[in-house]
Amino acid sequence: MSDTTPAALALTEPKIVTDAVVSKLQGCEGVSEAAVIEIEGRIHAFITPDTVDVQLIEKQLASELDEKLRPASYNALSQMPYTLRGRIDEGALETWLKGIKSTQSTEHLLAPPRVHIKEVRSGSTASSSSLSSIYSGHGVQDRASWDDYLESQLPNKVQPKPVRNLRYIGLIIYRRIFSVIFIANMIPFLLLLIKGTDCPTLATACSINLLIAICIRQDNVVNALFRIAGWVPRSWPLWIRKNAAKVYHLGGIHSGCAASATFWFGFLVVQASFDAFRTSPLDSTRKTISAATLGVAYVIMLLFTMMLSFAYPSVRRRIHNQFEQVHRFSGWTVLILFWILNFMLITDYTAPNASITRATLKTPGFWCLIIITISIASPWMHLRKVTVIPEKLSNHAIRLHFNYRQNPVPGSFVRLSDTPLMEWHSFATIAVPDRSGFSVVVSRAGDWTSKYINSPPTRMWIRGVPTRGVMNVAHFFNSAVIVGTGSGIGPCLPVLLAAKNNGIKVRVLWSTPKPQETFGDEIVNGVLAADPKAIIWDTRAHGKPDMVKLVWGLVQESKAEAVVIISNPALTKKVVYGMETRGVPAYGAIWDS
């Protein structure tokens, strides 16, 4: 039998010793995880959770371990730090233990989270210090309060089921806007159908609707509408601000006018079909509408029908890339053909001796087409290929850094592509205060994203200007609960980083698999810097929680005025419905394009 002393063993075979101590610690009552590090011949123990009775554990190990193998300190943590490879980060534990201030890079967003520590040997009952990493599956807040949220009963919804389903599902603001616009168009449509009209009048009605439908989607117009809505002071009553925050439903204007334009053009095609057989009242030698004009009208009608069919919500969701391509190429073709049709109609309806130029300048459709063309072309005037600095966060996510412009407004997005004519993808901008440029987080969600995670790009196409989206409405409130799942934390992060400067009190709920391993320290630390008590729920470790209950618990605890969520369609609708039917304003993407 070896006569090696425990002290010598600690120096010659530290791994065996520390493993033995870890094994003893894990056998103690209430210990979830344990780690041991050896510094200058002394062993230091770390255990989770921080509710464990460390005095009892110390007493138990005193009877089971030789005196020289007993830990010099017992440190209870709310969570164990992990490296990106999923191993306990001993460097982070040692850094804290030595009392060395975190040497976190200045390139990181914010300071790391705070962790509660109990130092037994020193006699201190509780102290706080910074660790350089976040702890998978938990925030800093006591887990017991989360359990209270999940175990509590949600209050009853405030309206009968038929009423609330009609209001919050069937007739959301988007659909109400669509309905108002469509009905407003159908009233004169039916009157003209009964009374009778001509093709130039119908072309004008169609052009006006197309003008509104296209301009309402223009980047600068969208930003202007968000700015106007954001002018409502936060001191004003909540009912005013919560309705102003519905500004992101402006897509209802786009779809309402586009659908109406298609109906008006259908009317024009029918009218032109009859006029093609009638003698022109201006020239008895020809028909009211020429065969060429009628042929162009039928081609435009076919393209309109294709665009409207592909834009139907269920079709759009199923084949979104094809929807975008049909919308883009058919739209450009329609624009060109509409210019041709406009001049053809002017020619058909102008007397032989009259001035075509004067007739053109008096035609409303001509001026509408000029504005429409400028609106469609303007984002492409900002098309550029820019340098990208990739930062691979994990096998499931990558962060792309851009430095070609100043910080975008929190809650805005940009469009990126590698094939500008074929497909574009929108990503929320992450702007860091006092740092130029921005970044986006790309999470694995299909072939396009997988390609760039596997082979990070160094150059990409970008179009238009950063455009405000649903996350921007968080600025309309004094306090808000921000909810994100997976890479949905990307759109939330710039709002969280700017919340303090903007005077917004935020609580955060982020549900995602392996947050630190997938997205890295910087993003997770940014979340906790905005809300030190953020709930960061590791779905890989704990499964998927009842998000409605967790959100409701945070709303009640923080007295938040609103909830903003960035998640998948199903969960977004569930949370928004669950909050709004209980009287809490809630906002989430509506996938209207």
1 belongs to a structural domain: no
Q: Which of 100, 97, 90, 95 is nearest to 74 (CA)?
A: 97
Same structural domain for residues 190 and 266? yes
CA-CA distance, 27 to 326, in Å (whole number)?
63
Q: Which two tokens stand for residue 339?
A: 């210019």
Of 47-56, 118-127, 158-167, 366-375, which range is least confident? 118-127
Same domain, 88 and 21: yes
| Segment holding 401, helix H or strand E | strand 397-402
Q: Which of 379, 400, 416 is the last residue of a domain?
A: 379
Residue 83: its pLDDT value, please? 63
- Least confident interval from 141-150, 441-450, 463-472: 141-150
Average pLDDT value for residue range 121-137: 32
The percentage of residues in the chain with a pLDDT greater than 70, rounded to a whole number, is 85
Buried b (16+ CB within 10 A) or exposed e, 372-385: beebbeebeeeeee
pLDDT at 11 (0 to 100): 36
Given a cut of 60, whether residue 222 has pLDDT beyond it is yes
**417 phi and psi angles, rounded to 5 deg:** -160, 160
Task: Give the residue-averaged pLDDT of 394-400.
Answer: 82
- Residue 61 in any domain: the answer is yes
- The predicted structure's pLDDT at residue 392: 82
Phi, psi of 531 (to 5 degrees): -140, 95
Please give the residue that has the higher pLDDT: either 17 or 368: 368
Q: Give the list of residues 6+ apart from residue 210 with CB closer than 8 angstroms, or none.
A: 257, 258, 261, 338, 368, 372
Would you place residue 86 in the very low, low, confident or very high pLDDT band (cuts 50, 70, 90)?
low
**The domain that contains 405 carries what CATH number?**
2.40.30.10
Q: 419 and 487 share a domain? A: no
| 99 confidence band (pLDDT: 50, 70, 90) | low
What is the rounded CA–CA span in Å between residue 139 and residue 52?
17
Residue 110: name the closest of 365, 430, 471 by CA.
Answer: 430
Is there a domain that residue 392 lies in? yes
SS3 letters for 462-505?
A: EEEEEEECHHHHHHHCCEEEEEEEHHHHHHHHHHHHHHCCCCCE
Assess if residue 483 is contained within a domain: yes
Range with top average pLDDT, 96-105, 135-144, 316-325, 550-559: 550-559
Counting Cα atoms < 13 Å in the Cβ hemisphere of 354 gives: 15
Contact 254, 216 (CB under 8 A): yes
167 and 177 in one domain?
no
Average pLDDT over residues 221-242: 93
pLDDT band at 9 (very low <50, low <70, confident <90, very high): very low
pLDDT beyond 70 at 180: yes
Cβ atoms of 379 and 426 within 8 Å: the answer is: no
The 3-state secondary structure of 99-158 reads: CCCCCCCCCCCCCCCEEEECECCCCCCCEEEECCCCCCCCCCCCHHHHHHHHHCCCCCCC
Q: Residue 397: inside a domain, yes or no?
A: yes
CATH of residue 586's domain is 3.40.50.80
**Whether 324 and 253 share a structural domain:** yes
pLDDT reported for residue 411: 84
- With a cut of 50, say whether residue 585 has pLDDT above it: yes
CA distance 557 to 535: 13
| Average pLDDT score over residue span 321-328 | 86
Most confidently modeled range among 72-86, 155-169, 206-220, 409-423: 206-220
**Averaged over 140-165, what is the pLDDT?**
74
DSSP code of residue 169: I
Lowest-confidence segment of 74-78, 238-242, 291-295 by average pLDDT? 74-78
Do residues 253 and 225 touch, judged by C-beta distance below 8 A?
Answer: no
Mean pLDDT of the 279-292 span: 83
What token pair was written down for 283?
């020239």
Question: Residue 463's beta-bridge partner residues?
Answer: 415
The first and second tokens of residue 535, run together, are 């709930």
Average pLDDT over the chain, rounded to an integer:
81
- Please name the amino acid found at residue 374: I
Domain containing 438 equals 382-468
Domain end point (choices 379, 409, 424): 379
**Segment 559-578 mean pLDDT:** 92
Question: In a 3-state reduction of DSSP, which class is residue 74?
Answer: strand
pLDDT for res 433: 61
CA-CA distance, 100 to 458, in Å (whole number)? 37
Cα–Cα nearest to 44, from 73, 5, 67: 73
- pLDDT at residue 129 in the model: 31
> Is pLDDT above 70 for 84?
no
pLDDT at residue 206, rounded to an integer: 95
Regarding whether 417 and 329 lie in a shared domain, the answer is no
- Asked if the model's pLDDT at residue 104 lies above 70, the reply is no
Closest by alpha carbon to 72, among 98, 50, 42?
A: 42
User: Is 82 or 84 the better-scoring residue by pLDDT?
Assistant: 82
**Could you tell me if residue 431 is inside a domain?**
yes
Q: Which amino acid is at 281?
A: P
Among 40-49, 179-188, 415-424, the least confident range: 40-49
Does residue 547 have a pLDDT over 80? yes
501 pLDDT more than 60: yes
Residues 536 and 447 in one domain: no
Contact between 444 and 394 (Cβ < 8 Å): no
DSSP state letter for 409: P
pLDDT > 50? residue 306 = yes
Q: Is the pLDDT of residue 580 over 80?
A: yes
Per-residue pLDDT at 586 exceeds 60 = yes
Q: Do the beta carbons of residue 276 and residue 291 sit within 8 Å?
A: yes
In terms of Cα–Cα distance, which of 242, 247, 235 is closest to 584? 242
**DSSP one-letter code for 318:** H
The residue with tokens 């460097």 is: 91
Residue 256: name the closest of 177, 314, 312, 371 by CA: 177
pLDDT exceeds 90 at position 414: no
334 and 248 in a single domain? The answer is yes
* Helices assigned H by DSSP within 232-319: 238-244, 251-275, 291-310, 313-318
The structural domain count of the chain equals: 4
| 293 pLDDT above the threshold of 70 | yes
* Residues 447, 488 within the same domain: no
Residue 236 confidence (pLDDT): 94
Q: Does residue 3 surpass a pLDDT of 50?
A: no
9-13, 113-117, 440-444: range with lowest mean pLDDT: 113-117
Q: Is residue 347 located within the same domain as residue 329?
A: yes
CB 26, CB 34: distance < 8 Å: yes
Contact 304, 262 (CB under 8 A): yes
The pairing of beta strand 438-443 with beta strand 397-402: antiparallel
Q: For residues 197 and 271, is the Cβ–Cβ distance under 8 A?
A: yes
Of the candidates 30, 35, 121, 136, which has an alpha carbon nearest to the alpha carbon of residue 79?
136
Bridge partners (DSSP) of residue 402 are 438
Residue 26 has pLDDT above 50, yes or no: yes
Could you tell me the pTM of the whole model? Answer: 0.72
pLDDT surpassing 90 at residue 564 = yes
- 406: pLDDT confidence band, cut at 50, 70 and 90? low
Mean pLDDT on 495-509: 89
Same domain, yes or no: 367 and 417: no
Q: Domain ends where: 133, 160, 186?
A: 133
- Output 246 or 99, whichever has higher pLDDT: 246
Residue 587 in domain: yes
Which of 302-316, 339-353, 375-389, 392-406 comes out lowest in average pLDDT?
A: 392-406
Q: 140 and 92 in one domain?
A: no
pLDDT for the residue 454: 82
Q: Is residue 355 part of a domain?
A: yes
CATH code of the domain containing 15: 3.30.300.30
Which carries the bigger pLDDT value, residue 140 or residue 440?
440
SS3 of the chain: helix, strand, coil, percent, to 5: 50, 15, 35
Asked whether the predicted pLDDT for residue 530 surpasses 60, the reply is yes
Q: Is 170 helix (H, G, I), strand (E, B) or coil?
A: helix
Separation between Cα atoms, residue 504 and residue 78, nearest integer Å: 27
Residue-level pLDDT at 316: 82
At position 585, the amino acid (one-letter code) is: P
Q: Are 548 and 575 in contact (CB under 8 A)?
A: yes
Question: Which of 189-203, 350-364, 512-526, 569-583 shows the lowest mean pLDDT across its residues?
Answer: 512-526
pLDDT at site 335: 94
